[in-house]
Amino acid sequence: MREKMTRSLTPLALLAALSACASSGHRYQDKKMDFGALKTVAVMPFQNLSRDNLAADRVRDVFANALLATEAVYVVPNGEVARALGKVGVPIAMSPSAEEVVKLGQALKAEGILTGTVKEYGEVRSGTAVGNAISVSVQMQETSSGKVIWAGTTTKGGVTFSDRLFGGGGAPMNYLTEEAVDDLLNKLFK
């Protein structure tokens, strides 16, 4: 009886694992915040928890460029952000405190500061199958108070059914990165 029950759960478990591979993540948005008041934002260097040493820089660049391309806000150039980080004296650029966010906002003349974390970037394995995956979380703090006003997470890619069946390695990382950034921006402007 137990063996029969285990066999019947296997397809269900497989379906759950497959749907988790392309999860769209979560979103938080402060209902009291007027996002129309945001004219200028700065994207801080992203924290990297992946095995790829350059993943955070790559994802930050794609995110900042895609956000600028929306024409909804002006994105402070990375060089200006680096100069302000040194001027204000922020020891950990990836996670500034609320007080540091307020100071950065004044130095950059920005209403919002975005920070992010790249949790997964690159090749993932499941048994003998291989695929590419990206998992990113981003949050925005308003510079008048340092309070978090928006946060979103996304995960794209992973080992799909066709990867298990035929091999192939999944979608290219640049495609998955753009897909993840688009998902985050959709959550931001929703």
Whether residue 154 lies inside any domain: the answer is yes
pLDDT tens digits along 142-188: 999 999 999 999 999 988 777 777 777 778 899 999 999 999 999 98
pLDDT in tens, 3-49: 443 333 333 333 333 334 444 566 666 666 666 778 999 999 999 99
DSSP annotation string for 21-33: HT----EEE-TT-
Is residue 156 included in any domain, yes or no? yes
In a domain, 39, yes or no: yes
**Distance separating alpha carbons of residues 20 and 46, to the nearest angstrom:** 24
- Please name the residue that has the structure tokens 């794209």: 156
Question: Would 7 be classed as within a structural domain?
Answer: no
CA distance 184 to 151: 9
Task: Answer whether residue 14 is part of any domain.
Answer: no
pTM over 0.85: no
What is the domain-level CATH number for residue 120? 3.40.50.10610
Number of domains observed in the structure of the chain: 1
- Residue 146: inside a domain: yes
pLDDT tens digits, one per residue of 60-85: 999 999 999 999 999 999 999 999 99
Which residue range is the domain that position 72 belongs to?
A: 23-188
